[in-house]
Every structure is written in structure tokens, then in C-alpha cells.
Amino acid sequence: MNLYQLPITKDPRRATACYGNVAILALLRMLKEHGSQDKHLEAQILGGANPGQISGRDVSRDNCLVARKILLKKRIPIVSEDTGGRRGRKVVFRTDTSELMVMKVAQLRKSDWYPYPERR
């Protein structure tokens, strides 16, 4: 799973995981280093909410597009998508069972973040 803020950078000096093209390729590289093969991978694209007009560019849409383009090029099937809209998402992913839960929220409270306060 990765989370990035901007779709792409072509500048190697700025190539950090806050850019989609860097984050996705880094994740795929790490998976391969641990024995995964592209033909055994599936992807889900979540997010891309645009809560309001911040600039003239729809960065959230572009973030989803870069994911689709890279996954298509790598021939990794996208098995589900939950993108767009105005509300942000809280994602809970259980790595032991591969279960995923997506909650659309208007606002996250500090207590919504894991580890939850009672488990800190």
C-alpha cells in the first residue's frame, strides 16, 4: 500500500515517495525483492477525493490516472477502485487476511488514527 500527494516528477533530485510515479514503482520493486512476480499481483486504487477547488489542476484525478497508467504498463490488473468524490477515505487493510475496509469521511478525528488511543 502506498499513499502519495502528487502524480509525477521527472526530476531525479525530487524523486521521493510523495510522487505517484516514484511511490508505485518503489512498491513494485520492494515486492519483487521479496519474491513477488508481476503476474501474481493485483491492484486496488483507492482515494483521489477532491474536497474542494484548491487550484486549477485536479491533482486527485491525476493521482489516480498515474496509478492506472503504471499498472496497465506493468500488466497488473486493477481488481477494484473506489476513487473520486468529495470525501476523504480511511482505509483499513489487514495484511494477514488481505481484507480491506474503506470508510468515506468528511473529517478525521485524532482518535481515528491507528494505533488508537487506548492501545498507545
Please give the residue range of the domain that contains residue 33. Answer: 12-86
Average pLDDT for residues 72-92, to the nearest whole number? Answer: 92
Cβ count within 10 A of residue 19: 22
Give the domain CATH number at 35.
3.30.1330.200
Rounded Cα–Cα distance for residues 83 and 20 (Å): 15
- Cα 110 to chain centroid distance, Å, stands at 21
Q: Is the pLDDT of residue 3 over 60?
A: yes
Number of domains present in the structure of the chain: 1
Q: What is the pLDDT of residue 8?
A: 94
Q: What is the pTM of this model?
A: 0.82
Name the pLDDT band for 114 (thresholds 50, 70, 90). low
SS3 80: strand
- pLDDT, mean of residues 94-111: 83
Confidence band of 80 (pLDDT split at 50, 70, 90): very high
Q: Is residue 49 part of a domain?
A: yes
Evaluate whether residue 117 is within a structural domain. Answer: no
Give the residue-averaged pLDDT of 81-104.
88
φ and ψ at 67, to 5 degrees?
-65, -50
Positive or negative, the CA dihedral 23, 25, 29, 31 is positive
Indicate the average pLDDT of the chain: 87
Query: Does 76 reside within a domain?
Result: yes
d(CA 88, CA 35): 33
